[in-house]
Copies of this chain bind each other. A is one copy, B any other.
Amino acid sequence: MNHDIQTWIEQVRAGDTRALARAISDVENRQPGWSELLKALFPHTGKARILGLTGAPGAGKSTLVNQLAKHYRKDNQTVGIIAVDPTSPYTGGAILGDRIRMQDHYNDPGIYIRSMATRGSLGGLARTTADVATVLDASGRDRILIETVGVGQDEVDIVRLADVTVVILVPGMGDDVQTIKAGIMEIADIFVINKSDREGAERVEREIRAMQSLDTRKDGWTPPIVKTVASEGVGTKELAAAIADYESYLKKENLAFKKNVENWQERLIEMLRDAMLEKVQAQVDGGSVQRYAAEIAEHKRDPYTLVEEIVRGINRS
């Protein structure tokens, strides 16, 4: 590793915000050297506690995350926020939202916020989010809060890397518990009913309880339900307490390490798959892919045999 990178890494570890921002950008955009950077940072990770928060659009995730961040700051913990915002050409709010939220904490270097869009890479968002979390972890943040919209597999994958997962529901959004993406309810370590001053909060609570009665978790934990009104700061303290409870439980039952190993098993497989795909793409250039695709579309070639041939070819090289 050259001297510049060494200096850079020391700056990141010392909490230098500009060095951190540059490191995150390089990792997020897969700039040359991103993987060397992660290799160098990895040994300095493992101290941050990672919290995943997910919920439907409009559930008040950002507001709740802001409240939690303030809570941890009062406790002198440093905070990194990764807001994963699946933008579309129609909505495209990630960058704007980021700027607005940054203003809120402009004078506090103890809070670092980064928005990420789902644009781009095929299934790569969960992986990039994990890598950004690694950088934040190495920078010495005590808490990393990852917020995502709970609508798809990407989001399930993202929150899976968290030590503690909070699923946020709201009353009366047509957002019946049943319509939440399959797989989201199951990953909740804690449920939050936000905007709980609205009509229907009790109904949401009953629905969660009903679901819980159908299924018990392998680890024996029953996810508590915390009611909040994030816009007024109501329930933030209780949520932080519920998070601390679950963290103690994980520690007491020695579950944190086990969870971590399981998570790394899945991440390793994904990383291997991505690495292999890069290899394929290096071998089969875009022009060939297009030509093959045309031959398949004309039914002159069957894709199943073609894939076998390409994979064999790579193996031989």
Contacts and interface: CB of A to CB of B under 8 A. Distances in A.
Contact of A264 (B260, B276, B296): B296
B277 A269 contact: yes
Contacts of A262: 293
Contacts of A186: 88-90
17 contacts: A39-B304, A42-B302, A43-B302, A57-B178, A89-B186, A90-B186, A151-B152, A152-B153, A268-B292, A268-B293, A269-B281, A272-B307, A272-B310, A273-B273, A273-B280, A276-B279, A315-B315
Oligomer: number of copies: 2
A39 B302 contact: yes
Contact of A293 (B57, B172, B264): B264
Contacts of A275: 307-308, 310-311
Nearest to A271: B307
A183 B280 CA distance: 27
A97 interface: no
A226 B118 CA distance: 30
A27 B214 CA distance: 32
A173 B172 CA distance: 10
